[in-house]
Amino acid sequence: MSALGGMEQALTPFADPAWLLETHSYDPLRESSRASRFSVSNGFLGVRGMRAVSRGEQQVIPARTYVAGLFDTPGRGQSVPVLIPAPDWLRVRLLLAGGPLVHHPSDLAAYRMTLDKRRGMLLTDARLVAPDLAISLRSLRLVSRAEPALGLQLLRLGIEAGSTAIALEASFEGMHFGLVAEHVDRDIGIWRTRHSAKRVAIAASARLWIDGREIAPAEHGPMHWRWTWSCHPEQIVEFERIVAVVRSDTPERHPGEAAQHTLSAARHRGWRGVVARHQDAWAERWQRSDVEVDGDAPAQQALRFALYHLNGAANPADPQVSIGARALTGDDYHGHVFWDTEIYLLPFYTMTWPEAARALLMYRYRTLDAAREKATRMGWRGALYAWESTDTGAEATPDQVVGPDRRVVDVLCGHQEQHISADIAYAVWQYWEASGDEAFLRDAGAEILCETARFWVSRAQLEPDGRRHIRGVIGPDEYHETIDDNAFTNVMARRNIRRALDAIALLRARWPGHAAALATRIGLDEAELQLWPEAAETIATGRQADSGLFEQFEGYFALEDIDLSLYAGRTVPMDVVLGRERTQNSQVVKQADVVALLGLLPDEFPGAAAAANYRYYAKRCSHGSSLSAAMHGLAAARLGETAAAMEYFHHTAAIDLADTHVAIDGGVHIAGLGGMWLMTVFGFAGLALRDDGLALAPRLPATWQGLAFAVEWRGRRLRIRITRESRAIEATLLCGAPMMLHVDGTAHALNAEMALGVPVAGLV
Ligand code: BGC
């Protein structure tokens, strides 16, 4: 069948520019950052936004395709598992008699790369000019949101001038990079990791049409095709490549057949079918998660960029994996999973894509044994999750890294940054509250809550002052190590224990059989359980009774107080400016710590305590992590400090979007992107979970005339619109049973029959 008809349309970006991100030039300085920014991903496959047809013999920047979960410990000096890039399936060269038509990306006469966020694909538009030849080229690249195993590449060449012999060569690249080729045939390749016994199979099909007529390749070798023909003006050449990728985690399972089967089903539907299903899946994601901002186009752009990457980062079908700190968009942090996922990403998934949230939490359930082992190895009970986690859940934090001052430094986080267990418990409970997913709580969530609670009860030791202390930890502020009673850790641990007790009570009341089975499975008896309430209530928190100010950790207030405003405009992190030792002896904070507690548990900060803590810590924070500004923005927005919140919003947006800002060669900062959603929905709209529904307390930034977003709650789907001009909230229950919506403290009944309009006096 001809490829003509439809391809031009598929190659045309969505009409509304608010959904597009474009770049027009080639800039070697920024190329790698752009490759991160323009990545396409579906949570299983991730492809960096490298050019497909702009390469000569040499790669200017290596291509990268990632397969989630493809971890291996390569050996030789490498002590922790890393995500191994898969062979890149997108290489295309145009060859003339004298060699490649394009030797270097800057050879392109005109070039435009467009991230079509609406349709979840990368499009390019270019002109290739050689002596006596001019070709227009358009391309499309996607990894399917509907069928995560599938990747699609389309190219359309229009010969504008010149008649000559030409060849199009399609091949794979990096076939021997980090993986061992087990079997590479014409249309299928199977590779394995060196040590972890994983396999990845890629089945591929490539076809070419000239003026609507398919022609056979002149050469077809292993994962390599070459077509040759004589081109002439007005000729249209169309190329299609479909790949199906399957990962297998067990040596006895061979993924080749599954890949071939998936590919042949996709070929049967054809590229139009692949594109159509992908677009439908993205349309559904946007319907369930879009955020609209009226009156502030840059904020709208930044949010859509964040949502694009968030919706691309998760795969609800695979509970074997979670989301790494750079998702599947770059090599930094090697695909390792941090607290970023539970604290900065999960709220978005929980509230707009519970299926994805569940899969991410099931990954933590699956790695619970590794967390139990870590706790046991360190002399405690229960489950202590890995600070950096890969496929097995074993601790994957390296012992040393190169610090921001280019010196090798020891990393203690794998031993000391233990708040991760409480962070995971936090996300479990938030998911349960928002989704009401009983099967999850019964079969997985309660066990995570109990084992993490059990860890804290053994970890927080009772001392002669009658309080339990958690000594020798690192809090979110990683500038201070081996500290005692980090407020964030201790208060989150207390909450962890309390919620575990709630979960047990709930199970006993509603599903006593499950409660008994859980107790037996984890050996939790009454005597042990009796200790928990006392343990929770006696954990030291560092809260000053008079001011409500939390001391970040014991002795923090006595450290050198440095005025950070004197260092405004610096271009390096504060620990480089001051040196490690002075930083450690100062009150300079790397990132939101007590402020993160304020962001996560606002009820712990009654009355004036919220503002007092925010003011104290905001000016001591140096934002040495991309996670930091978003938490400050959330806290500031809730306090009604919308101008400050907007600064944090722009700061976070700039990390991945501003070419003048931090280089993002190593991938997008997905936690910061999750933080943008948090700032907007939990911050500016003031969303909170209640037992009988949801609550809103909007505080819109001055430039925002309106804010609309979608959220889900216990099987219901809602659309909320906040409008400054009418000073009102309009809430529509799109599906599901009636529920309550609390606005600025007053409860309103919301049902599917009629949209609810609520005036908001405070919106000015
Ligand atoms: C931050 C951590 C974070 C990690 C991965 C570090 O720089 O301090 O909080 O989890 O990056 O994003």
Residue 441: CB partners within 8 Å, gap ≥ 6?
432, 503, 506, 507
Averaged confidence pLDDT in the chain = 94
Task: Report the DSSP pairing between strands 693-696 and 739-743.
Answer: parallel
Give me the architecture of the 7-287 domain, per CATH.
Answer: Distorted Sandwich (2.70)
Ligand 1 close to Cβ of residue 389 (< 6 A):
no
Q: Which of 147, 417, 478, 712 is catalytic?
A: 478
Q: Report how far residue 536's alpha carbon sits from residue 470's, in angstroms, rounded to the nearest whole number.
A: 12
pLDDT in tens, 666-688: 999 999 999 999 999 999 999 99
Hey, is 123 helix, strand or coil? strand
Using a 6 Å cutoff on CB, does residue 440 contact ligand 1? Answer: no
**pLDDT over 60 at 224, yes or no:** yes
Between 463 and 126, name the one with better pLDDT. 463
* Least confident range of 93-102, 179-188, 526-535, 568-577: 93-102
Three-state secondary structure call for residue 43: coil
For residue 234, the CA-to-ligand 1 centroid distance in Å is 53
| Strand (E) or helix (H) holding 182 | strand 179-184
Residues 527 and 60: their CA atoms lie apart, in Å, by: 64
With a 6 Å cutoff on the Cβ, whether 625 touches ligand 1 is: yes
pLDDT at 59: 47
Share of the chain above pLDDT 70, in %: 96
- Is 478 part of the annotated catalytic residue set? yes
What's the pLDDT at 61? 53
**Which pLDDT belongs to residue 60?**
45
Give the whole-angstrom CA distance, residue 604 versus residue 598. Answer: 7
7-287 and 290-331+654-764: same fold?
Answer: no
* Chain centroid, CA 109 distance in Å: 35
Which of 416, 418, 625 has most ligand 1 atoms within 8 Å of its beta carbon, as the pocket-test mutant?
625
Average pLDDT over residues 647-653: 97
Tokens coding 566: 């004197």
394's enclosing H/E stretch is none
Question: pLDDT tens across 396-440, in order?
Answer: 999 998 887 788 989 999 999 999 999 999 999 999 999 999 999
CB 245 within 8 A of CB 202: yes
pLDDT classification of 726: cutoffs 50, 70, 90: very high
Q: What is the reported pLDDT for 1? A: 45
Confidence of residue 175 (pLDDT cuts 50, 70, 90): confident
Summarised one tens digit per residue, pLDDT across range 39-90 is 999 999 999 998 766 555 544 455 789 999 999 998 766 689 999 999 999 9
Burial status of residue 572 (CB atoms within 10 A of its CB: 0-12, 13-18, 19 or more): exposed
CA dist 414 and 403 (Å) reads 16
Decide if pLDDT at 169 tops 80.
yes
Residue with tokens 């200790």: 531
Q: Distance between CA 259 and CA 190 in Å, rounded?
A: 10
In angstroms, the first-to-last Cα distance of the chain is 60
| pLDDT score at 77 | 65
Does pTM top 0.95 for this prediction?
Answer: yes
- The pLDDT value recorded for residue 750 is 97
Ligand 1 atom at minimum distance from 591 CA = 8
The CATH topology of domain 290-331+654-764 is Maltose phosphorylase, domain 3 (2.60.420)
| E strand segments, 284-440 | 291-294, 400-402, 408-410
Q: So what's the pLDDT on residue 28?
A: 79
Give the atom of ligand 1 at the shortest distance from the alpha carbon of 336: 5
Q: Are 607 and 567 in contact (CB under 8 A)?
A: no
Instruction: Name the residue ranges covered by the structural domains of the chain.
Output: 7-287, 290-331+654-764
Give the pLDDT confidence score for residue 56 in this predicted structure: 54
Question: DSSP secondary structure string, 4-42?
Answer: TTTHHHHTSPPS-GGGEEEE-S--TTTHHHHHHHT-EE-
Res 95: pLDDT: 92
Q: Is the CB of 627 under 6 A from ligand 1?
A: yes
Q: What angle do CA 48, 53, 56 make, to 5 degrees?
A: 105
CB 541 within 8 A of CB 548: no
CA dist list (Å): 38 to 53, 142, 291: 16, 11, 20
